[in-house]
Amino acid sequence: METEVFNRYEYKYIIDAKTYEKMIEIMDEHMELDLHNINHHSYTIANIYFDTKDDYLIRHSLEKPQYKEKLRMRLYGVPGENSKVFLEIKKKYRGIVNKRRTTLGLDEAYRFVESGEMPRVKEYMNEQVLHEIIYFLHCYKLEPKVYLAYNRIAYFEKDNPDLRISFDTNIRTRRYDVHLEDGDYGERLIDDNTYLMEIKTARAMPLWLAHTLTELDIHRCSFSKYGTEFTNFVHSNSSIKY
């Protein structure tokens, strides 16, 4: 069964292609590739972000509060008939990320968010998370706002399952055709030769990783895919007022 509850720190870094190649060499020495990354081929993650009509959730998030939350639908790969997706609540409090998710059928997930009513619970669903999402949906009237997808290479450490390192590229977004089944396309969010590296861990970083970041002069940054997309959207639409 897929892990459905996460509590961890997430550290983000923007790196160029040359640094990425060096990092991949080091990752191969110390960690294991995700099972979906056969021969270092990336896999696709596609998301739908839900927000209020006036984009309250992302606007609040960009104010950098101590507590923030969001709801998204996530799919690994391209949807097909009878596809299953994850519906996730992601919360962040004082730097600690809590993610809670449940599996739903694609149509079930859309109906759930739109109606706010409990679906008929099936064996692949997490009933507790469903109740938490219902509470979230009662707090906010949500609608699909952004499609956001990217290609990912990910690593894990056998002796430390809490450590995961991922590299995302070809980040693409759109605010039209905001459904997973509409296809995988959109405008680029960052340059082709740029990668978003994320270190996710519930513990301190291993020494080899801390030394690697120092040796390659890699520095943490504040970067949100959805936040960057929204900032770009507002800047390109000066008539928008909140």
Give residue 78's pLDDT.
75
Do 188 and 228 touch, CB atoms closer than 8 A? no
Q: What Cα–Cα distance (Å) separates residue 131 from each residue in 6, 7, 119, 239?
A: 17, 19, 10, 38
Give residue 189's pLDDT.
96
Q: How many residues does the chain have?
A: 242
Give residue 2's pLDDT.
55
Backbone angles phi, psi at 124, to 5 degrees: -90, 0
What single-letter DSSP state applies at residue 65?
-
SS (H, E, C) 181-197: HHCCCCEECCCCCEEEE
225, amino acid identity: K
169, amino acid identity: T
pLDDT digits (tens, 9 = 90+) for 212-237: 999 999 999 999 999 999 999 999 98
The list of the chain residues with pLDDT below 50 reads 1
Q: Report domain 5-235's class.
A: alpha beta
Do 168 and 223 touch, CB atoms closer than 8 A? no
The reported pTM is: 0.93
